[in-house]
Chain A
Amino acid sequence: MSPELFQQIIFYVFATFTVGSAMAVVSVKNTIYSALFLVLCFFNTAVLWLLIEAEFLAITLVLVYVGAVMVLFLFVVMMLDVKQAKASQLKQSYTKAALLIAAAMLVELLMLFGYKLSGQIPTNELIRQEQGYSNVAEVGMELFTKYVYPFEIAAVILLVAIVAAIMLTMRKRPGNKQMDASKQININPSERIRVVSMKAEKGQGEDS
């Protein structure tokens, strides 16, 4: 088996899994399965990236999306205890209309891409880099020189996301029993204990 053929087989196998799992994400009813299918989809995409020698992106995808985002997502789904939507609750009319529109879009796009790419599907190989070529260095170089301005704006967007999320969710509850550490430390014995002088009382049952 020639290396080219082997590569093609790998590509088609993983591409099929990518598309299949992506469709499963939107079609299964259980949210947990849906999230797990998304994980599968990410893994397959990562393999496709490996095929075009984008190792850094492939690893980042698995690390960031699978390792962090999806795990968090699963946590949230499980903690929220989302009820499984019953088939009767989903309006069938919407599904039909959605399918119709999706099919129309698909045909249009296929025609469009077919028109653009007819007779010019690239048959030659991807540009292969020589050994010692560093993906990370290239991505870093582009990100911090050519795209430094978008990169900075993206950072501001993340900051805004944090600020907005905290503003919208943090609440001070009225009857909160939270302890204030600085007040606890700064307390004086004299403020805590009040010495009251009073007459010694007689023992019980002795009074007249």
Chain B
Amino acid sequence: MFGWSELIPALPEILVLSMACVVLMAGLFTDKNKGGFLVFLSAITMVFAIILTVKDHVATAEFSQELLFNDTFIRDGFGDMLKIVVYLLMIGVFFYAKQYLRQQNNMKGEYFALLLFATLGIMVMISGYNFIALYLGLELLALCSYALVAYNRNDIHGNEAAMKYFILGALASGMLLYGMSLIYGAVGTLQINEISQAIAGQDNDMFLIVGLIFVIVGIAFKLGAAPFHMWVPDVYEGAPTATTLFIASAPKIAAFALAVRILGQSLDVLAIHWQSMLATLAIVSIVVGNIFALQQTNLKRLFAYSTISHIGFMLLGLVGGPDGVAAAMFYIIVYTIMAIGGFGMIVLLSSKGFEADKISDFKGLNQRNGWYAFMMLLLVGSMAGFPPLIGFFSKLYVLKAVVDQGFIYLAVIAVIFAVIGAFYYLRIIKVMYFEESDTDQAIDIGFDVKTVLSINALAQLGLLVILPALFSYCIMVTKTL
């Protein structure tokens, strides 16, 4: 049993859950084209969640681990850092979503409530310390995502995307559960730390390895790593852009946390096996993602394939030993910040009944509005990994960790395909700066969204200031795992 004081480490979760219910109620009294109050409520929730998370950290001033609810919940530095990034991302998501839903004249309170519930699912996944808790967090997130993809009920593409997402997501959950049940059958416990102790020394148990394969397939599905990536482009393209923006960002962090908790913390003894599997997934993802992205004319599909290659890089980090985990963590954080910015630009240029999701829609953006073109330049340049931007350093850290582990050939392949990938990013920049615009329609967005987008894009440069601190923080929190 536990008393009230024991709930304190879980206060952010409790806050988000309560506020999700409040937003659900407040949504009933919202006009179809307003919704500012909902965004305010949701964003303020995230701000308070940040305060609650940081406050505990300051109070203890160290990366202690706290286990709650009979050890099904863990509060540690790793989780706290990822959660703070998720809160910040969600603030961005709320503002972009407001812009998008107002454009489409389809503002409903449920959208923000579901986003908050999804955030809760992500938080549960990040601090799950038991396979059941991890799985339930995943389902909570997935269920919200399916509904958010199908949000525009009259949009046939959205429905198709939601259906594909639902069926493949259910299949992936089934795989993950099957793997978990095999591992449970082998060791008789679902507790992360107990599994790690129980399997010490049996790194060749076939039973565990088959369980591991199923778990990795499940995780790869959720991350969208090739060859389990088929759903990614279709869902990204079909979903409303605000939803695409969400599923491309925060859930990736949750999936990363899931991978670290399951592979790094509970099945650490089997590292020799899962490292080779992840290396294969990583290389296939980088190759497939970059090659297929070259032929895309739809920006959402292009970003989807670029996500696949970025996920490949992140998985490469997980192969690279303890430093690699920190590099992968840094990579996924930086990537999600770029991703919401990129999709944010699509939201920005869209208008009612029109999605600016073709590359040609960005023609001559520099003439229409030089500032936004510059923002897009920063975001796309960072995705490609051009040197002064943060995206370059995240790639650098991953490659360094991989080379340090002696996998030089992996690093070489990754670099070659990253260079190939630079082509399609450069094409976007070329279209923006060197082609004539078809339309001279003014870009009309609110001051708040403009600010969020500018901060988001300038972060590609601004994060350089705290780059060493951020990365050493990543190393510090992954050491305590």
Question: Which positions in A face B, CB cutoff 8 Å?
Answer: 108, 112, 115-116, 145-150, 153-154, 156-157, 159-161, 163-164, 167-168, 171
Q: How far is the CA of A156 from the CA of B113 in the complex (A)?
A: 12
8 CB < 8 A contacts A-B: A116-B207, A147-B132, A153-B124, A153-B140, A156-B117, A157-B143, A161-B143, A167-B108
Q: Which of A116, A148, A157 contacts B140 (CB 8 A)?
A: A157
Type the 1/0 row for B12-32, where 1 means its CB is closer than 8 Å to any CB of A: 000001000000100000000
**Chain B residues with CB below 8 A from A163, complex form:** 24, 110, 113-114, 117, 147
Q: How far is the CB of A71 from chain B (nearest CB, A)?
A: 23
Is residue B69 within 8 Å, beta carbon to beta carbon, of the partner chain?
yes
* B residues near A171, Cβ cutoff 8 Å: 153
Is A164 a contact partner of B133 (Cβ separation < 8 A)? no
The chain A residue with its CB closest to the CB of B137 is: A153
B contact residues vs A (CB 8 Å cutoff): 1, 17, 24, 68-70, 72-73, 108, 110, 113-114, 117, 120, 124, 130, 132-133, 136-137, 139-140, 143-144, 146-147, 150-151, 153, 185-186, 206-207, 210
Q: Select from chain A the residue with minimum beta-carbon distance to B17.
A: A156
Chain A min CB distance to B212 (Å) = 13
* Beta-carbon contact of A160 and B207 below 8 Å: no
In whole angstroms, how far apart are the Cα atoms of A18 and B119 in the complex? Answer: 40
Cross-chain contact A145 with B70 (CB below 8 angstroms): yes
Q: How far is the CA of A203 from the CA of B180 in the complex (A)?
A: 92
Partner of A150 from B68, B72, B110 at Cβ < 8 Å? B72
* Contact present for A146 and B143 (CB under 8 Å): no
CB distance from A153 to the nearest CB of B (A): 4
Residues B114 and A148 in contact, CB atoms below 8 Å apart: no
Pair A168/B24 contact, Cβ less than 8 Å: no
Asked whether B133 lies within 8 Å of A149 as measured between CB atoms, the reply is yes
CB distance from B402 to the nearest CB of A (A): 32
Is B143 in contact with A149, judged by CB distance below 8 angstroms? no
Determine how close the nearest CB of chain B comes to the CB of A163; give it in whole angstroms. Answer: 6
A145 to B69, CA, bound (A): 8
* Contact between chains at B147 and A168 (CB < 8 Å): yes
**Chain A proximity of B149: nearest CB distance (Å):** 10
Nearest CB on B from A118, distance (A): 12
Set of chain B residues within 8 Å of A167, measured between Cβ atoms? 108, 110, 114, 147, 151
CA distance A64 to B159 in the complex (A): 31
Q: In the complex the two chains form, what is the Cα distance from A203 to B146 in whole Å?
A: 72
Evaluate contact between B117 and A160: CB separation under 8 angstroms.
yes
Supposing A145-B70, A149-B70, A149-B73 touch, asked if A156 and B133 sit within 8 A by C-beta, the answer is no
Given A156-B17, A161-B143, A167-B108, decide whether A115 and B132 contact each other with a Cβ distance below 8 A.
no
Please give, as numbers and ranges, the residues of chain A lying within 8 Å of B186 by CB-CB distance. 116
> What residues of chain A lie closer than 8 Å to B206, measured between beta carbons?
112, 115-116
Whether the Cβ atoms of A164 and B114 lie closer than 8 Å is yes
Given contacts A150-B133, A161-B143, 20 further A-B contacts (CB under 8 A): A112-B206, A112-B207, A112-B210, A116-B186, A116-B206, A116-B207, A145-B70, A147-B70, A150-B130, A153-B136, A156-B117, A157-B139, A157-B143, A160-B117, A160-B140, A163-B24, A163-B110, A163-B114, A163-B117, A168-B147
Q: Shortest beta-carbon distance, A143 to chain B, in Å?
A: 12
Known A-B contacts A163-B24, A167-B108; A156 and B120 likewise in contact (beta carbons under 8 Å): yes
Cα distance A136–B96 in the bound complex, in angstroms: 49
CA distance A148 to B139 in the complex (A): 17
When C-beta atoms are compared, the residue in chain A nearest to B140 turns out to be: A157
Residues of B within 8 A of A164 (CB): 110, 114, 143-144, 146-147
Instruction: Contact check, A146 vs B140: say whether CB atoms are below 8 A apart.
Output: no
Tell me the complex Cα distance, A98–B17, Å. Answer: 42
Nearest B-chain residue to A144, judged by Cβ: B1
Interchain nearest-CB distance for B233 vs A (Å):
23
Beta-carbon nearest neighbor of A108 in chain B: B210
Residue numbers in A under 8 Å from B147 (CB-CB)? 160, 163-164, 167-168
Q: Considering the complex, give the chain B residue whose CB is closest to the CB of A142.
A: B70
In the complex the two chains form, is A157's CB within 8 Å of B136's CB? yes
Shortest CB-to-CB span from A148 to chain B, Å, is 6
Give the residue name and chain of the B residue nearest to A116 (CB): B207
Given the known inter-chain contacts A112-B210, A115-B206, A157-B140, please indicate yes or no for A150 contacting B132, CB distance below 8 A.
Answer: yes
Looking at the assembled complex, report how far the CB atom of B193 sits from the nearest CB atom of chain A, in whole angstroms. 15
CB distance from B182 to the nearest CB of A (A): 8
The CA-CA distance from A163 to B118 in the complex, in Å, is 13
Bound-complex Cα distance A164 to B149 (A): 11
The docked-state distance in angstroms from the alpha carbon of A146 to that of B189 is: 13
